[in-house]
Amino acid sequence: MIFNRHAVWAIYKFELARFRRTVWTSLITPVITTTLYFIVFGSAIGSRMQEVGTVPYGAFIVPGLMLLTMLTESISNASFGIYMPKWTGTIYELLSAPISAFETVLAYVGAAATKSVILGLVIFATANLFVDIDIVHPLWMILFMVLLAVTFCLFGFIIGIWAKNFEQLQIIPLLVVMPLTFLGGAFYSIDMLPAAWRTATLFNPIVYLMSGFRWSFFGAGDVSVELSLAAMFGFLTLCLAVVWWIFRTGYRLKN
């Protein structure tokens, strides 16, 4: 089958156009939120906890802020992008069009991942206004950002197909992903926890994503970078398998 680049590009541009139309909530709001986080965590807490290991606390929380924003925005953008055609009924036009499942996922997930990476870079630029950050592994940082964005955009794509209403779109991001992110070492090292809690925290998958991402900044993490990459690729593979099953069975797409 010939790759339908025109269809992919059309969907991709349409999704990015929606991003431009909501630039205030898409870009300005994360900047304001990041500023507030630095005022609360960087100033109030950072004045009492100067360093985590050898890293100043203000710089230490930057990967956590980026990860928190990218995870929530990746899920939100991807889930909303595929849910709207379901809600309006235009999903049937998409399913009957000469575009494969792979091309459909590539367009929607690619657009959502692009927006997430842009937001991550905006958060990073905003953080640099407050603290100086020297990245030890810049190429690995970009790789982690792309992997995180693609993986959780796929996860959001699954949620968008699964959801039957707008309320269900928010259940998993707000009640599952965000608490796991806060408990996954976004603003602290799990080495600071008591032994029992540290062991329990290792069952939180976000810990491995956070640790690998922070390693790309400072050269150190709570778990090995190999384990972080394995966890990330494992979740990516799982999401790909679920998306394949959805299009194979037509789950909540054709009924």
CB contact at 8 A, 219 and 54: no
For residue 101, how many other CB atoms are within 10 A of its CB? Answer: 14
Kindly provide the residue ranges of all beta strands, DSSP E only, lying in 46-205, ordered along the sequence. Answer: 51-52, 55-56
pTM: 0.92
Please name which of 236, 218, 181, 170 lies closest in space to residue 70, comparing C-alpha atoms. Answer: 181
The dihedral through the CA atoms of 18, 80, 178, 112 has a sign that is negative
pLDDT of 25 strictly over 80: no
pLDDT tens digits, 188-208 = 888 888 888 888 898 999 999
Query: Rounded to whole angstroms, how far apart are CA atoms 132 and 59?
Result: 7
Residues 102-125: what's their mean pLDDT? 93
pLDDT tens digits, 141-186 = 999 999 999 999 999 999 999 999 888 898 988 888 888 988 888 8
CB contact at 8 A, 19 and 26: yes
Percent of the chain clearing pLDDT 90 (strictly above) = 47
Spell out the domain ranges in the chain: 5-249
DSSP labels for 134-192? Answer: --S-HHHHHHHHHHHHHHHHHHHHHHHHH-SSHHHHHHHIIIIIHHHHHTTTSSS-GGG
Tokens 């091309």 found at: 103
Query: Rounded to whole angstroms, how far apart are CA atoms 26 and 81?
Result: 14
Tokens 């690729």 found at: 233
Residue 185 zone, left/alpha/beta (φ > 0; ψ -120 to 50; rest): left
pLDDT of 26 strictly over 80: no
CB contact at 8 A, 8 and 106: yes
Query: Rounded to whole angstroms, how far apart are CA atoms 95 and 104?
Result: 9
